[in-house]
Amino acid sequence: MKQRLDEWIDKGKVDTDYHERQFRAPYRSTVTFCDWLDEIGLMVSNRELRIIDLCSGQGANIYYMSKRYPKSTFLGIDINAELVDKGNEFFRDNGITNCSLAVGDIYNLDAKYIGGFQGVLSFQTLSWLPEYESPIKAMTKLEPQWIAITSLFYDGQISCTINVKEYDDSLKIQRESFYNVYSLPLVTKCLKISGFNNCQVTPFEIDIDLPKPNKKLMGTYTEKLEDGHRMQISGPLLMPWFFIAASK
């Protein structure tokens, strides 16, 4: 299998604002994910760790982490050369020396990366790929000490393949993408088969309100429930975000 570039672009164009606004203000999911990695002892601010982020986009997440964990080094891999070039340019212009990006396909990672990293990260990616098994196997083949994933999961024995089509005002397809929700028991089983037997899972509950988009297209917003919790929604879909961490 080969990763498709068009899984991440809209009408042949990269949505650079989606990536660049995360440099200005990291998403709450990114901050909370790092809080959780601290809590369970995988990321430590005073340790020198080598971390690889797969499908990293322009590198905003590793930029945030590079400031939070200044002794660690971060490499982001992405299929889109335009995003890689823009991210590396940002790092150079801002004097960021512990972050870099490289072009790569998650399904066909260069063997030179095997054994070179303590941790593998996957932010907001797995549910937007056609299936989960091949990407997870690619992560485990890198032989890290641990793998940490944020995506859409269900804490039961159900997986849903969701193919989303967004239309423009003339009702022509504007973008087509996956919003798959994968079964946590199946995903953790896949990790355990590869030797990552210690799996920890926690739901992500956002702590801020997100406004509803003006257009009735995909775009995450929140609705507050009676008990005070916020439900994340995008278009017609609920967004059941979870964090997974798996170690040997």
Query: 227-245, pLDDT tens digit by residue?
Result: 999 999 999 999 999 999 9
Instruction: Identify the residue whose tokens are 């809080």.
Output: 35
pLDDT band (50, 70, 90) for residue 218 = very high
Residue 80 reports pLDDT greater than 80: yes
Q: What is the pLDDT of residue 20?
A: 72
Dihedral, CA of residue 245, residue 163, residue 54 and residue 94, to nearest 10: -110
Residue 14 reports pLDDT greater than 60: no
pLDDT band (50, 70, 90) for residue 39 = very high
Cα separation of 47 and 227, whole Å? 39
Q: Across the strands, what pairs with 52?
A: 75, 120
Query: 156-213, pLDDT tens digit by residue?
Result: 999 999 999 999 999 999 889 999 999 999 999 999 999 999 999 999 999 999 999 9
Query: 139-159, pLDDT tens digit by residue?
Result: 999 999 999 999 999 999 999
Share of the chain above pLDDT 90, in %: 85
Give the global pTM.
Answer: 0.91
Mean pLDDT for the chain?
92
Residue 115 reports pLDDT greater than 80: yes
Mean pLDDT of 69-86: 96
Q: How many CB atoms lie within 10 A of CB 213?
A: 13
Mean pLDDT of 43-70: 95
- Give which of 55, 66, 183, 195 is closest to 125, Cα–Cα: 55
Mean pLDDT of 54-81: 96
Phi, psi of 231 (to 5 degrees): -100, 130
Q: Which fold has domain 5-155+181-207+239-247?
A: Rossmann fold (3.40.50)
Tell me, letter by letter, the H, E, C secondary structure of the chain.
CCCCHHHCCECCECCHHHHHHHHHCCCHHHHHHHHHHHHCCCCCCCCCCEEEEECCCCCHHHHHHHHHCCCCEEEEEECCHHHHHHHHHHHHHCCCCCEEEEECCCCCCCHHHCCCCCEEEEECCHHHCCCCHHHHHHHHHCCCCEEEEEEEEECCCCCECCEEEEECCCCCEEEEEECCEEEHHHHHHHHHHCCCCEEEEEECCCCCCCCCCCCCCCCEEEEECCCCCEEEEECCEECCEEEEEEEC
Domains in the chain: boundaries: 5-155+181-207+239-247
Token pair for 129 = 């790929």
